[in-house]
Copies of this chain bind each other. A is one copy, B any other.
Amino acid sequence: MRTFAQVMTFGLRQIVWDHTISRNKDEEQGAPMSDPETVQATIRELVSANHILFDQGVVDGFGHVSVRHPHNPGRFLLSRSMAPGLVTEKDVLEFDLDGNPVVPNGPAAYLERFIHGEIYRKRQDVMSVVHSHSPSVVPFSVVTGTRLRAICHMCGFLGSDTPVFEIRDFAGEDSDLLINSNRLGAALAQSLGEQPAVLMRGHGSTVVGNSLRQAVFRAVYTEVGARLQSEAMRLGPVTYLTKGEAAATTKTNNTQIDRAWFLWLKAAESRTKEG
């Protein structure tokens, strides 16, 4: 079994390889990156994820994406509070699972960083978390009797149901709907359970992955699937994926994530110009 760091390092080497189409001798021999290099590469990939999610319309000025720290499963990396489309490497902060910044007295943090910490605490398999208000998903969070589920092979990971977190059950009738405490983060993580996604009533969704790229892939295709399901439901009774089809498509798609990632990365890079 590979360690967290090894998994991340492998993924990050892939970026370098695919991107530059050039490898030096050390890399060909699989020489491991040094720890600081791995962290820096993780941060760079997190910046890319921020830009991709903005470019693909999953986040607007709001929403955020984190990644578990490559060397310390008890920490995670997340931008300071700002629009994801504008995030740069120097904006990325390190947090413990309680949502405390490791370096105190830094810039303002996202009010909802507790979403990330509590999911990393509960789900050892999760390496990355995306929280968004993507527009086709929000409607599914506020209606009763209709549940978001797998309507096509690209969305197989959604399975036969996506849980909806009703914050009123934990914060009462007068909350601002935000997951602004560890208590609410833990409640959301409980609602997520072992699923890849949880909807948040009147708010948005949180999607997880066993890698940054998988989380981004799933966040994009949760939005795509919601739009397809909404359209299909208006045409007539819908045939959804079976449980077996959902599992099999998920397994296959997990081998294809980089095909989308590098396309989205190129699109985001050509449209996002950092100042």
Chain A residues packing against B (C-beta within 8 Å): 60-62, 81-83, 85-86, 111, 133, 135-136, 138-146, 151-154, 156, 168, 172-178, 201-204, 224, 227-228, 230-242, 244-245, 247-249, 251-252, 256, 259-260, 262-264, 266, 270, 273, 275
Contacts and interface: CB of A to CB of B under 8 A. Distances in A.
Contacts of A135: 224, 227-228, 231
Given A173-B244, A178-B252, A228 B263 contact: no
Contacts of A249: 176-177
A239 B173 CA distance: 12
Given A62-B256, A142-B240, A176 B151 contact: no
Contact of A86 (B240, B248, B263, B273): B263
The copy count of this chain in the complex is 4
Contact of A176 (B168, B175, B245): B245
A259 B228 contact: no
A224 B134 CA distance: 11
Given A61-B260, A152-B177, 6 more contacts: A60-B263, A61-B264, A153-B203, A174-B248, A175-B248, A176-B252
Contacts of A173: 242, 244-245
Contact of A235 (B140, B152, B176, B237): B140
B154 A62 contact: yes
A195 to B, nearest CB: 20
Looking at A61, A230, A273, the one whose CB has the most chain B CB atoms below 10 A away is A61
Nearest to A86: B263
A99 B10 CA distance: 31
Contacts of A224: 135
Contact of A174 (B168, B174, B247): B247
Contacts of A263: 60-61, 83, 85-86
B133 A239 contact: no
